[in-house]
Structure 1
Amino acid sequence: MWNPDAIMENLYNTYAGKRLQEQEHETADSYKLRLKEQLTGSLTLQEGQDDLHPVLLERIELSDHIRERIEFGTYMGFRVPAYVLIPLGLKEKRAAVLTLHGHGFGSRQIVGLNADGTEHTGEPDIHGNYALELVRRGFIVIAPEIIGFGDRRLAEDQKEGKVGNSSCQTLASHLLLYGISLAALRVQEARRALDYVLSRDDVDSSSVGCFGFSGGGLIAAYTAAIDERVKATVLCAFANTFKGSIMPIRHCIDNYLPGVLAYAELPELIGLIAPRPLFIASGKQDPIFPVETVEVAVAYLRKLYIQSGAEDRLHVHLYDGVHEVDGSQAYPWLVEKLAEASRQA
């Protein structure tokens, strides 16, 4: 009788009711503007932004692309290592894609490397090597190391024998003491990655996309929602509702944005990307982003894109699979949409 379940359910319903009440007095445009301002406010860092000062760390020519490793500055003194994959024989500016990895051993996991930096020769894991797949389709691809993973874990988490763990819990907890959410830091670092991409002479600045998987999908969704430099977005194994995913199912603390339910459910935040092109991909058997509530999110987004006169810019691929990347439809879609963005510029 003392368990808090019923009260927590009532709290969710109360906040949902307050949101609906507020929307009743707004036009669609004013609602979108307010929502974007509130999300931007939740993701804003008060700490100073650092100069990029990009540094090339290595450059390796492979059979079908060049792999650079660079580093650049973001906020509060943080430096971010990132892989940049470049098609061989590049003679003109190309569309670029910011790729954001999920939980695992970091950026190496999506560029065709093992955790120790050696070349991966076996079958790809759940990430599907999507940065590698995208450079092979002609894109310039950047894969930053998201803070809390790989080389950007805390020293304790990088001790010998620890591979694939993260520093999310500790970083998120400590940052909250300063009033900073881990989601906010990651989104702002993703935007600095966009700044770097757009500073490159070989990138077509009118044609930049974003591809995120799982936790990287959160970063991709929020980054694209508030930054219109992103012209097309792929969210893989992320689109859902808070109510159907991170609330009833145990998730990493990095998924939680303080105060967000005061102004939006997750589909509404993803909907800020409209009318720009959006691709939703998710496994029908994904145990942590259930397909039933993926479909709830998709229904909301379809209605929104229809109302925006952009129904053809939303694509959905629900595939047989668990929490994993299936890019069979997403890769050609991104090629098409970024080519359109370039033509329309």
Structure 2
Amino acid sequence: MWNPDSFMERLYQSFEEKRNHLKQSENADQTKARLKLGLVNSLGIDMDNKDELRPIVLERVELADHIRERVEFGTVWGLRVPAYVLLPKQLAGKGAAVLALHGHGYGSRQIVGLLPDGTENDGPPDLHGNYALELVRRGLIVIAPEVFGFGDRRLAADQTAGQFGNSSCQSLASHLLMYGISLAGLRVQEALRALDYLISREEVDPKRIGCIGFSGGGLIGAYASAIDERVKATLLCAFTNTFKGSIMHVRHCIDNYVPGVLGYAELPDLIGLIAPRALFIESGKQDPIFPIETVYAAIEHLRKLYVEVNAESRFGVHLFEGVHEVNGSMSYPWLVGMLS
């Protein structure tokens, strides 16, 4: 055979055998430490490069049921991030807060109730479901940073192309690889700095921090939560799967691929680093890019892990009739409850 299909299958199997062999020679704590170190190394996380936050409030708008701020702060390598901060009006004392990470689309405006041009969205929500807005209306403080490569943080050529929903993922990821930097790693580092900023705010209780991510935002949220134990509850929407069953089976954006990761972990192994902290998995049964068959496989792995660490009560799942979208009917109340 001239085609590479059988070679790629054998390659996956050989790496799977190596991973299983490593696990057999370790106890649970050793495995967790090795996986976490592997993830940090694969992502290239080096917070020695972090900048001072030096936050600036760009805008403050009082709405019917919450206050919306537009802020910016420093992250790493001279980068500054614009973000929306949503504050409940009824907040008394320090409150629980959530890092909300958007997926592919037109950026942070897409989850705070705004249209691409920044005007109010009076119509029905799209597949993102306005989840930052939904959570502030349930009493949570929410920060929604603009993910690198989307919205106002696209390359100039992509912004002038006139397409609100396009991204700079392909150019940024391929060019960053020339420097030995992964786009996923840079995005996770910025998410960790967003947590630093969130916790620095006087309204926030640093002991009640959550994270929600949809699709590509789920990737960032999963890895950031795995690395940073300040996150006490994580909600992953339309992301949990296996590498083999999703990004290696269906064509995905290049930002999903992490150098060397299969040498030490499959995706459920990495998500499992969140245990025993709270984790909720939400996924549509008809999602075409994160197929339900391997969602089940990932959930089985994670449920077993949570049972082993006596934390099954902190693991939740909702598989709903739907496609690649946010549902929220069970997951939003769960997140509020876990951060109460």
Instruction: Map Cα deviations across residues 184-239 of structure 1 (whole Å, 9 max, x no partner).
Output: 00000000000000000100110000000000000000000010000000000000
Structure 1 CA distance for aligned equivalents of residues 24 and 92 of structure 2: 53
User: In the alignment, what sits opposite 1:119?
Assistant: 120
Q: How does 1:322-333 map to 2 (within 5 A)?
A: 322-333=323-334
Q: Per the alignment, in what secondary structure is the counterpart of residue 157 of structure 1?
A: helix
Query: Contact 2:90–2:139 at 8 Å: present in 1 too?
Result: no
1:15 and 2:15 matched: yes
1:155: Cα distance to partner?
A: 0.2
1:40 Cα deviation (Å)? 1.4
Aligned to 1:80: 81
Which amino acid in 2 is paired with 1:295?
A: Y
Counterpart of 1:32? 32
RMSD: 0.8
Equivalent positions of 1:41-120 (< 5 A) are: 41-46=41-46, 48-120=49-121
2:233 aligned residue: 232
Unaligned runs of 5+ in 1: 340-345
1:343 match: none
Residue identity matched to 2:112: V
Q: Which amino acid aligns with 1:241?
A: T
Is contact 1:86-1:141 (8 Å) kept? yes
**Could you say which residue in structure 2 is the equivalent of 1:342?**
none
Aligned residue for 2:317, secondary structure, equals strand
| Aligned match of 1:175 | 176
| AA in 2 matched with 1:82 | A
The TM-score normalised by the length of structure 1 is 0.97
Identity %: 69
Q: Does the CA contact (< 8 Å) of 1:45 and 1:180 recur in 2?
A: no
Q: Find the aligned partners of 2:164 and 2:336 in 1 and give their Cα distance.
A: 34
The alpha-carbon deviation at position 273 of structure 1 amounts to 0.3
Q: Secondary structure at the match of 1:299?
A: helix
TM-fit CA distance, 1:48: 1.7
How far did 1:244 drift? 0.2
Cα deviation for residue 90 of structure 1 reads 2.6
Q: What is the alpha-carbon distance in structure 2 between the residues aligned to residue 49 and residue 61 of structure 1? A: 32
Cross-structure match for 1:268: 269
Question: SS of the counterpart of 1:250?
Answer: coil
1:45-68 CA-partner distances (Å, limit 9, x unpaired): 447211110000000000000000
In the aligned structure 1, how far is the partner of 2:274 from the partner of 2:90? 33
Matched, 1:189 2:190: yes
Secondary structure of 1:201's counterpart equals coil
Distance 2:55 2:10 in 1: 49
Distance 1:317 1:86, change over 3 A: same
Given the alignment of the two structures, is residue 247 of structure 1 paired with residue 248 of structure 2, yes or no?
yes
Q: Distance in 2 between matches of 1:296 and 1:130?
A: 26
Single out whichever of 85-94 and 136-145 deviates more from structure 2: 85-94
Task: Kindly report which structure 2 residues correspond to 1:185-334, keeping only aligned pairs within 5 A, or say none.
Answer: 185-334=186-335
SS of residue in 2 equivalent to 1:225: helix
Consecutive unaligned residues of structure 2, counting only runs of 5 or more, are none
Cα distance in 2 between the residues matched to 1:220 and 1:269: 12
Contact 1:210 1:234 in 2 (8 A): yes
The one-letter code sitting in structure 2 at the alignment partner of 1:313 is R
3-state SS, counterpart of residue 49 of structure 2 = coil
